[in-house]
Amino acid sequence: MPVTIKRVFDLLQYNLEKFPKEVFVSGKLQGQWKTHSTAQFVEIVNNLSKGLVRKGFGKESRIGVMSHNRPEWNITDFAIMQIGAYQIPLYPTLAEHDIQFILKDAEVSLIFVADEALYKKVKSVADSLEQKIEIYTLDKVGGADHWEVLTEEGAKHQDINLEEYRAAVTPEDILTLIYTSGTTGTPKGVMLTHDNLVKNFENSAVLLPEGIHKGLSFLPLSHIFERMIVYLYFYTNVSVYYAESMDTIVADIQYVKPNAFSTVPRLLEKVYEKIMEKGKELSGIKRGIFFWSVALAEKFETKRTWFYDFKLGIARKLVFKKWQEALGGNIVVIVSGGAALNPRLARIFWAADMPVFEGYGLTETSPVITVNHFDNTMFGTVGPVIDGVEIKIAEDGEVLARGHDIMKGYYRRDDLTAETIDKDGWFHTGDIGEIVGGRFLKITDRKKEIFKTAGGKYVAPQMLENKFKETPLVEQVMVLGENRKFPSALIVPNFPALKTWAGKKGISYTTDEEMIKNPQVLEKFEQIVQFSSKEFGKWEQVKRFALLSKAWSIDGGELTPKLSLKRKVILEKNNAVIEKIYKDAENYKA
């Protein structure tokens, strides 16, 4: 009888029966690709599960995984879930106080860590806690227990009947606790069930048409977005390849030549910026054809005239074929999430025959609520709802969602769960949006990030920030102005682009710190600010700004792991700069 996928680990038997293959999952470590066939992968998973059982772990045990993407991440994930234990992913760059909170709150008793650096970090935290936490490393680390000790122990005990453990797991049981701090506050443990994830990847399968065989993964598996995408790959017979790091991504793409990958908009923006820089170096007819092709791409629509397609065919042959080759030459689908995708960028990639599908969701929604796909796409939106999910817009503009994707709740926080999921089952996303064309969702801002100026006018900062980031010279930006006379902005320049610009203007480039004080640079950014603000209402327009020399980062505490701005942290760290902005402009009449 064919296997029915009701729990995520049913994917293993599903793959063994339906499409066993030589490359189920492959990862690159220290420059070498290591591949697991379906049969090898399942065998290792089962032995690890038995090893965990031998140590006394079973249903509702709490086991953590702290690692960058690699096949062992998936192996530990499946081994944990099929004995009914809760898998708790930890992002590798988490601060020690967050690690401590998660290990304690989730009552973790065993954790897998990737390497020596993470072993030392976690051991230091674990030693400070009262609970006993066993640590196993994925790399071989001196003085630490290696994870293969567990698989070897499990292999010796084939008498352990894993089917008894699997049978005890229901679709409604918790699969994972994912701790999300969002942009403020203490981490919250999001309880996601097997059913949440199974329904999510089944109904997100509209993303992948036939002909997709290789998926490249580089976004962190510790986030639900990439994790669901990888489950989706397993569900649709796609071999998964993990890039070694963002530093090796170009070489890894050329090696794998993927048909699909998921990304965040900023990475696509960087690819586009590099291509445009090369285009500017061209001369004569080649330069003319390049920029004619880009201008044509900016007007791309999914429904086109024959004459447009005729011109597009020329552009693809002469220009966009090289863009495709830069991403391996075999791209069928790119999935974008985590932040707003510039519609202009989406059109350009579509015109280059590399369709980008933007979706929307949160950790609490497993994650997909809506997604564009080949049958239903509208640029500038995050697509229609997936099957089994419904949305509505509340009176204050907040997007509400209901369906199979909604979490079970926040772990041990019934108060927060009640605040987020109302009595009718509607999950309050915290995002402001609207329905376009009767079925496409458009997100306009975060509810908590909208601020009111001293004049009583509301400002949605993300709309402004997205406009600013259309300019290649702007790397990061945060618009602020709560209870102030007017909005202002903190801007981190794209320093490599700024250096190129300075060279063309004959400006001697010294250091980043010096350049943000250069009068010509400040004048250029004044022009950018005015241009980017002109489409907005007078009360929304950014009147003053400050340039910063250091980019915001996860390690610095200014960004969440999915690269969202931690506005409160940025405000606190730059308080003196912000006060100076308004003090210098205190005579300004908004």
Q: Give the residues across from 153 on adjacent strands.
A: none
**Ranges 22-31, 348-357, 461-470: which has the least confidence:** 461-470
How many C-beta atoms surround the C-beta of residue 256 within 10 A? Answer: 23
How far is CA 245 from its chain centroid? Answer: 15
pLDDT tens column, 314-326: 999 999 999 999 9
Distance between CA atoms of 546 and 550, rounded to whole angstroms?
12
Measured on CA atoms in the order 270, 274, 275, 276, is the torsion positive or negative? positive
pLDDT at residue 588 above 70?
A: no
CB 574 within 8 A of CB 490: yes
Domain-located, residue 344:
no
Domain boundary among 142, 177, 193: 193
Q: pLDDT band for position 94 (50/70/90)? A: confident
Which DSSP state fits 341? P
Domain-located, residue 36:
yes
pLDDT tens column, 431-464: 999 999 999 999 988 787 888 887 777 788 888 9
Question: In the structure encoding, which two tokens stand for residue 368, read together?
Answer: 């997909």
Of 322, 320, 352, 357, nearest to 209 by C-alpha is 357
Distance between CA atoms of 320 and 49, rounded to whole angstroms?
48
How far is CA 413 from its chain centroid? Answer: 25
Burial (CB < 10 A; 0-12, 13-18, 19+), residue 127, is exposed
Domain-located, residue 143:
yes
Distances (CA, A) of 175 to 61, 183, 220: 11, 25, 18
Distance between CA atoms of 388 and 129, rounded to whole angstroms?
43
Domain-located, residue 20:
yes
Alpha helix segments (H runs only) across 156-283: 162-167, 194-203, 224-235, 249-256, 265-280
The residue segments making up the domain with residue 67 are 10-193
Instruction: Determine the pLDDT at residue 589.
Output: 47
pLDDT at residue 28 above 80?
A: yes
Domain boundary among 193, 225, 244: 193
Instruction: Determine the pLDDT at residue 259.
Output: 98
Q: Give the residues across from 214 on adjacent strands.
A: 239
pLDDT at residue 142 above 60?
A: yes
**Between 585 and 476, residue with greater pLDDT:** 476
Of 26, 30, 42, 94, nearest to 64 by C-alpha is 94
Which DSSP state fits 223? S
DSSP string, 60-71: T-EEEEE-SSSH
Phi–psi pair at 80, nearest 5 degrees? -70, -50
pLDDT at residue 586 above 90?
A: no
Distance between CA atoms of 375 and 381, rounded to whole angstroms?
14
Percent of the chain with pLDDT over 90: 80
Q: How many domains does the chain have?
A: 2
Q: How do beta strands 174-180 and 188-193 pair?
A: antiparallel
Domain-located, residue 108:
yes
Q: How do beta strands 260-263 and 333-336 pair?
A: parallel
How many C-beta atoms surround the C-beta of residue 278 within 10 A? Answer: 12
Q: For residue 559, what is the domain's CATH number?
A: 3.30.300.30
Of 567, 535, 338, nearest to 449 by C-alpha is 567
Of 519, 517, 516, nearest to 473 by C-alpha is 516
Distances (CA, A) of 61 to 87, 106, 193, 407: 9, 10, 15, 19
How many C-beta atoms surround the C-beta of residue 174 within 10 A? Answer: 22
Query: Can you list the pairs that 324-329 forms with residues at least 24 positions away whose Cβ atoms lie under 8 Å?
Result: 324/352, 324/353, 324/354, 326/271, 326/275, 327/253, 327/271, 327/354, 328/216, 328/253, 328/254, 328/256, 328/257, 328/258, 329/257
Instruction: Determine the pLDDT at residue 137.
Output: 98
Domain-located, residue 315:
no
Instruction: Determine the pLDDT at residue 173.
Output: 98
Instruction: Determine the pLDDT at residue 308.
Output: 97
Across the chain, mean pLDDT equals 93
SS3 582: helix
Domain boundary among 165, 193, 221: 193
pLDDT at residue 562 above 90?
A: no
CB 359 within 8 A of CB 335: yes
Domain-located, residue 33:
yes
Three-state SS annotation for 445-463: EEHHHCEECCCCCEECHHH
Domain-located, residue 555:
yes
SS3 179: strand
Instruction: Determine the pLDDT at residue 590.
Output: 42
Distances (CA, A) of 371 to 30, 49, 379: 35, 35, 11
Instruction: Determine the pLDDT at residue 182.
Output: 55
How far is CA 292 from its chain centroid? Answer: 33
Instruction: Determine the pLDDT at residue 587.
Output: 53
Single-letter code of the amino acid located at 230: V
Residues 6 or more apart from 293 whose CB is under 8 A from it? 315, 318, 319, 320
Q: For residue 173, what is the domain's CATH number?
A: 3.40.50.980
**Between 175 and 267, residue with greater pLDDT:** 175
pLDDT at residue 583 above 90?
A: no
Residues 6 or more apart from 563 whose CB is under 8 A from it? 264, 266, 338, 339, 554
Question: In the structure encoding, which two tokens stand for residue 308, read together?
Answer: 């447009």
